[in-house]
Amino acid sequence: MTNVLSTFLTLLVDGVSYGMMLFLISVGLTITLGVMRVVNLTHSAFAMIGGFITLWLTSHAGLHYFAALPLGVAATMAISLVLERTLYQWVYKSDPLGQLLMTIGMTFVITAIVKNIAGPQIQSISLPAALAGQLVIGTTNISVYRLFVLGLSVAVAGGLWLCLEYTTFGARLRAAVDNPRMARCVGINVPLVFSVTFAIGCGLAALGGAVGTQMLPLEPYYGLKYLVLVLIVVAVGGVGSLKGSLYSALLLGVIDTMGRYYIPALGGFIIYLAVLAILLMRPRGLVARVG
């Protein structure tokens, strides 16, 4: 009996940490999709860029994992800001299909560039000694790395929430989200707010991509391979809702992890079944935004 319980606890931690990583990767997309109204199929490629830059910093520049992580995130934010100011300007006024084609084109280009630089093989960032190993509580084994991912993403999500609720920038963003025209009227520089938000979203994706390499390993086709997963998290959560993304990422993370363990015959099938069921019951996602 205790054995069953400890397995369940281990799976729960795995599932929740997987879900939190999904949340980090997809939270930026829910803003670009729901708020800036851009179908951004390049988003998961930013997670890959963050992962690869961190990988390069640790393996070639010889930096420590914890030093490389923020640098990788910052570099990705810079890249995303440049792209947002240039290429994305072309499609802001275009129809969703145009945006879809353009951003998938960008994903193709990024994939090709990464393949040329880093090679086609699957890679992951080797963890520092502090994160290797297991934590044994009673009969339950919990990997330290999973706990680290869990703690980091809870901290980031908390920080995000504090920033949105209690800072001037957060207030401006919420105003721009609720009513862009009115926000502009009271003197908020809406495009600038969105640019910064876009960069932060891509930075979070980069963080998720970099810390999540043990769960979603890096490869040039990362951007296309996990795009479906990221889009699903956003759609299930409700486009434009941060809280919804959190719920759906956690739900899907736990369902996927538990499903693969308890019903291995169905494998990756369960998560899509869950998605279909949720979307049929709530076509606008778990937390539908009003208006």
Least Å distance between CB 195 and another protein?
Answer: 20
CB atoms within 10 A of CB 141: 14
The residue (of 73 and 278) whose beta carbon lies closer to another protein is 278
CB of 183 within 8 A of CB of 53? Answer: no
Residues making contact with another protein (CB under 8 A): 33, 39, 87, 90-91, 94, 96-102, 104-113, 115-116, 224, 227-228, 231-232, 234-235, 239, 265-269, 272-273, 275-276, 279-280, 283-285
The residue (of 211 and 232) whose beta carbon lies closer to another protein is 232
- Who contacts 236 (Cβ-Cβ below 8 Å, separation ≥6)? 244, 248, 251, 252, 275, 278, 279, 285, 286
Least Å distance between CB 79 and another protein?
Answer: 16
Least Å distance between CB 223 and another protein?
Answer: 11
- Who contacts 168 (Cβ-Cβ below 8 Å, separation ≥6)? none
The residue (of 74 and 224) whose beta carbon lies closer to another protein is 224
Helix and strand totals (H; E) in the chain: 13, 2
The residue (of 117 and 182) whose beta carbon lies closer to another protein is 117
The residue (of 56 and 108) whose beta carbon lies closer to another protein is 108
Least Å distance between CB 239 and another protein?
Answer: 6
Residues in the chain: 291
- Who contacts 167 (Cβ-Cβ below 8 Å, separation ≥6)? none
Residue 137 has φ and ψ, to the nearest 5°, of -120, 110
Least Å distance between CB 36 and another protein?
Answer: 13
Least Å distance between CB 126 and another protein?
Answer: 26
DSSP per residue, 24-36:
HHHHHHHHHHHTS
The residue (of 199 and 232) whose beta carbon lies closer to another protein is 232
Least Å distance between CB 232 and another protein?
Answer: 7
How far apart, in whole angstroms, are the C-alpha atoms of residue 38 and residue 6? 44
Give rounded-to-5 percent helix, strand, coil for the chain: 75, 5, 25
Helices 242-262 + 2-34 axis angle, to 10: 140
How far apart, in whole angstroms, are the C-alpha atoms of residue 43 and residue 201? 9
The residue (of 89 and 126) whose beta carbon lies closer to another protein is 89
